[in-house]
A and B are shown apart, each in its own frame.
Chain A
């Protein structure tokens, strides 16, 4: 995308999102569903950083997402913290979870990374599931949405208010994310995906890059999870389950790997689709499963990626489109790491 086109598209998207609460009643959508789209998009971006940009099959991000939710939920329920503090605590909880798991995950690549991230991701699920006295176990735990306190003034957060908080945070995350993936660090991540051996033979310890990418990803997923918990005022173990990780990956593929706005598109299709189909039929899961199958067979480059491929122009510089084009499904994943 040319810089000016991108700026126009981005501005239009933000304006559209700002006006969404006015539009959504016309199509019988609750504003909280649109909030859920934004919140989910942040989690999808967290998967995108690892899978879409770095090429690591991140199938455990629900762990950080759920840690965000439980961090916020437990701190509101037991410590009665306020709105902003709850978001911060949830996000930090996920970052800490990432710090614990990253040393185990970053030593392996490819399918083994996927296996480790699924297995390790599940540990928090079992803790939430079993530690019934505190977490409510399988039934989950309800908690009220706390007021925001700024300079001593209490402010209750309505559904509309929540939407704009989510939108502001979403825009901030998009700007930060875009800056990171275009920075030398982000380009090195893309280089790791394309050819990790070469990156190491440029004298870079790729493990360090992957470590930081994992922490950034965990933090983003945690922020998303904290917001999600505060949106639905509920925390339950399935948020930590590998199924949830799979939904994030699906949304990422739907929107297009390695694109900044693809995550929003993917989250939109997933959240709105689930909402619409589940009101029509109880067999929602069959459609979701079919969506996985269709997505894998039909358009592995995602919606945005497929559109970009249709335009079929020669890539000029290192843009997001190129990153997406570089998402070569046939590329070898494993590299020589020097024993």
Chain B
């Protein structure tokens, strides 16, 4: 695939909840190798749009194409096999299992071992062990690998979730508000990991974010939603200068320091 080929395309997505159009006719293109941000004030429909793209729910109207294939009504677990990974606003993990087991479940799933009725040994186990080590190293959680997730800080849980979403070898990673509820130091740590996703692993990233400092320093392209509709799309500089975006965010104060 060419470097700026379109990896994911959503066209005219509409999702209705009880008569309310949570997402109304929104289109978006994510190009290969970019870090693309999806922003908008509270209630703009970012997470709903995200859910429609990742198959958490299906949209009423519109089309989602991933790697050239129509996936609009493809089951979420099949999209993972096609190379999509995703995290959730509240870290979606197995809280009572250890860090190691959380990541191992994903690695095994990807290695086709999840269905085995007997514990693998030898080569099969060695391959999985190696991959788990690698992923834990990438998010820097090796030291905490034997602790249950519920004992870990919020930021570490999120890192573990990122490692889990990487365990299935995705080409596109969808991150839903990766900085939500994190302290400044933890935010920086996750920002580093997101940069590494592209630089070290060569992945494409689409993320929903509230924190404008994060968005403007990480993203190559930004899509802005407001009240379910597409408001603007462009480079960080274009978005920061956009009058409509500024007025939509007015009162939230997020653009004040830009």
Contact = CB atoms under 8 A, between A and B. Distances in A.
Asked whether the complex places CB atoms of A and B closer than 8 A, the reply is yes
Interface of A: 179-180, 182-188, 190-191, 194-195, 197-206, 208-209, 212, 315-318, 322, 325-326, 328, 336-339
Contacts of B81: 203
B116 A338 contact: no
Contact of A205 (B75, B86, B93, B105): B75
B94 interface: yes
A182 B97 CA distance: 13
B165 interface: yes
Given A184-B116, A195-B93, A339-B58, 4 more contacts: A185-B116, A188-B105, A188-B115, A200-B77
Contacts of A326: 95-97
A318 B97 contact: yes
Question: Chain A at the B interface: mostly helix, strand, loop or mixed?
Answer: helix
Given A194-B96, A206-B77, A339 B164 contact: no
A328 B96 contact: yes
B223 interface: no
27 contacts: A179-B117, A179-B118, A180-B117, A183-B119, A184-B108, A184-B115, A188-B108, A191-B94, A194-B94, A194-B96, A194-B97, A195-B94, A197-B56, A197-B88, A198-B164, A201-B76, A202-B106, A202-B109, A203-B78, A203-B106, A204-B114, A209-B114, A315-B148, A318-B101, A326-B97, A328-B96, A336-B76
B1 to A, nearest CB: 21
Given A201-B77, A336-B56, A185 B92 contact: no
Contacts of A202: 77, 80, 105-106, 109-110, 164, 167-168
Interface of B: 51, 54-58, 73, 75-78, 80-81, 85-86, 88, 92-98, 101, 105-106, 108-110, 113-120, 146, 148, 164-165, 167-168
A201 B92 contact: yes
